[in-house]
Amino acid sequence: MEIPNKFGIHNINQINYKMKKNSENSQNPVDVSNDFEMVSLGIRVPVAVPRDESVWTKTDKEKKLLRRLRNRNYDLANGIKKSSYSIPVRDKIIVTIAPHPKFGRNKRNKKGEVVHNTITTFSHVCGQSDIPQILSLFNVYDKNAKKMKNLVIKYHWNGKEYAPNMLPKW
């Protein structure tokens, strides 16, 4: 039986043939729990080969270097992340400290004897965000009290005087 139409199908047998062809092309549903089937159909990438430990292991020196690089933004003593910004104000800091044998120079007097001359004033050009680090350089361990002692009496920065426990406001 011939049926003329705009698709060019003139015979019912042609329609039946196209329907059979489409049903042959349609695939059965894929079982997603079957890993081998999914890989063979190209739906999922095969599992990567496990790495060779002899090639990918690190020496102790490399591990130590990586640990240091990973923790470079952290203050390891306190476990606090260091600030990643710096305040752009720069000036000279003048730190006055209590006399201590750790800070000083050996000098010869007129008789030729070596005399330890303690230095009580230090100056340095720094940014405002560097002040806490500079003040921490003057911490010493007091054996009698068995604790750390800050030798800073006062410091001057940007024309103002500050106590050792104060920081300039930004």
Q: How many domains does the chain contain in total?
A: 1
Answer whether residue 111 is part of any domain: yes
Answer whether residue 32 is part of any domain: no
Specify the pLDDT at position 83.
62
d(CA 90, CA 158): 8
What is the band of 31 on the pLDDT scale with cuts at 50, 70, 90? confident
Answer whether residue 154 is part of any domain: yes
Half-sphere exposure of 17 (CA within 13 A, CB side): 6
Percent of the chain scoring above 70 in pLDDT: 75
Answer whether residue 123 is part of any domain: yes
pLDDT at 100 over 60: yes
Residue 145 structural domain? 85-162
What is the band of 169 on the pLDDT scale with cuts at 50, 70, 90? confident
What average pLDDT score do residues 76-96 get? 75
Question: Parallel, antiparallel, or unpaired for β 121-127 and 90-97?
Answer: antiparallel
Answer whether residue 118 is part of any domain: yes
Answer whether residue 8 is part of any domain: no
What is the band of 18 on the pLDDT scale with cuts at 50, 70, 90? low
d(CA 123, CA 96): 9
